[in-house]
Structures are given as C-alpha cells and as structure tokens.
Amino acid sequence: MTDSNREKKSQKKTSDRKGWDDLLFSTIEKIAATPGKLKDPKESIVTAVDWMKGLREEVVDKIKDEVANRLGKIDWNLLSEKLGDHLAENYRLKIDAKIEWEPKEKKASMAAAPVSEDPE
C-alpha cells in the first residue's frame, strides 16, 4: 500500500469519526452542565428526569441520523460485486434439491360442475 493510500484512509477514518466524536462530546457537555440547571432541591429530581429524557431523545435522534448518513454512503452495487467475487474465489457451490409437482386440490365448485362437451 502506498503512502498516499494510507493517508487517504487515515483522513477518511478521521472524518468518519467526527460525527461520533461530536455526538459524544456534546452529550458529555450537556451532562456536565446538569448541576447548573438544578436550582431548587425539591424540583431537582423531576427536573433531572425530564432533562435526561430530553437528552436521551436527542442522543437517539443523533445516532439515527449518523447511522442513516453512513448507510447512505455505502455503494451497495460495489459491495455486492465484491461479495460475489469473494464467494466465487473462496467457495464452491453445492446444491442439493428435490423438485416435485404435486396436484392442487380441486375446489368444491369445480368438482360439482363437470365440463360437458356437446357436439351440437
């Protein structure tokens, strides 16, 4: 592998981690800011629970967006081509099959009304 390819992979890896790092650090910052939001000890538990629910929803939404973004970047055609090449190069295909034709069960209406052929 050449140095330029290594640098490209390193840069790509760094840019891919940026979204996860932003999510992690923003969550840590919000958690660290929690004591400042809790002013009255009587309201502390209710406020903390409400705030944590909001934080949880925000983190879940960010994770959904990040995963959807990453899945959107996948070249599925290239991935399936590489998978097909890998399977063809490394595996033999063995198929054991049994195929039978079984007659369908006739419906009652078809059995009750036979087809007649009138030569008229």
pLDDT digits (tens, 9 = 90+) for 64-107: 988 898 889 999 999 999 999 999 999 998 989 999 999 988 87
**Lowest-pLDDT range of 26-30, 43-47, 88-92, 99-103:** 43-47
Q: What is the dihedral of CA 50, 54, 56, 59, to 10 degrees?
A: -160
Phi (first) and psi of residue 93, to 5 degrees: -100, 125
Which residue range is the domain that position 69 belongs to? 3-94
The number of distinct structural domains making up the chain is: 1
In a domain, 88, yes or no: yes
In a domain, 115, yes or no: no
Mean pLDDT of the chain: 77
pTM of the model: 0.43
Q: Count the neighbouring beta carbons within 10 Å of the beta carbon of residue 105.
A: 7
List the one residue out of 67, 62, 27, 33 whose CA is nearest residue 48: 33
Q: What is the pLDDT of residue 63?
A: 86
**In this structure, are residues 34 and 48 in contact, taking their beta carbons and an 8 Å threshold?**
yes
Q: What is the pLDDT of residue 93?
A: 87
In a domain, 14, yes or no: yes
In a domain, 34, yes or no: yes
In a domain, 68, yes or no: yes
In a domain, 57, yes or no: yes
